Amino acid sequence: MQITKETPLNVISELGKECDQCNNCCKYDTGIVLKEDIPQIAASFKLTIEDFKNKYLVKHDRFNKQCFKFKQIKDSKHTKPFGTKPYGKCIMLDEEKGCTIHSIKPLHCRVCSTKSKFGEKLTQWFALNYLVNTNDPESIRQWAVYLQYNMPIQGGKLEELIPDRVKLKKILGYEILK
């Protein structure tokens, strides 16, 4: 199966179902929560959107787009000489029950399973369709840094996102800032 930037969401959703609920993703990081994910999850907790954000979310910036992530519960035990670990489990993870919002989890959590054989491609698909903004030069520069370490899916090469080579060169050279 070839995943491209243009692969429809329904196909991506099917591939993301490979999650076996091992909770490894949730033990070391949290999912990205888009603004459109929040109302349904907040309603399930019988909270206003603002109360839900304050209690469960932190602002997050990815590819120069503001979104949210679930708060992390970090191990308070100090491991010398560095102190608290920089990662933690998702606030929505119950050690015994697993994800407490599995049936209504955000899109990122639904499609970006690390266990899937398509894991990295699904993560790129999500980033390209929900985070990377081709009209934002800083977003493109941050994507360019990401591509230094990752092979892009079809539709994710810089030249595919910004076909105008002169404009792309100016963006990457910080000649175009906004």
Enter the DSSP assignment of 102.
G
pLDDT digits (tens, 9 = 90+) for 55-70: 999 999 999 999 999 9
**pLDDT of res. 77:** 59
Q: Are 66 and 38 in contact (CB under 8 A)?
A: no
pLDDT digits (tens, 9 = 90+) for 6-37: 999 999 988 877 766 777 788 888 999 999 99
Tokens of 56: 């469960």
Mean pLDDT of 119-141: 96
pTM confidence score: 0.89
pLDDT digits (tens, 9 = 90+) for 78-115: 555 555 667 788 999 998 888 899 889 999 998 886 66
**pLDDT of res. 156:** 98
**pLDDT of res. 75:** 72
Enter the DSSP assignment of 109.
H
**Domain residue spans of the chain:** 9-131, 134-178
Rounded (10°) CA dihedral 110, 115, 121, 125: 10
In Å, how far from its chain's centre is CA 158? 19
Single-letter code of the amino acid located at 61:
D
Tokens of 8: 């429809």
Mean of per-residue pLDDT scores for the chain: 90
List, as one string, the DSSP characters of 135-176: T-HHHHHHHHHHHTTSPPPBT-SHHHH---HHHHHHHHTTS-
Q: How far apart are CA 123 and CA 29, in angstroms?
A: 14
Single-letter code of the amino acid located at 143:
W
**How many CB atoms lie under 10 A from the CB of residue 24?**
12
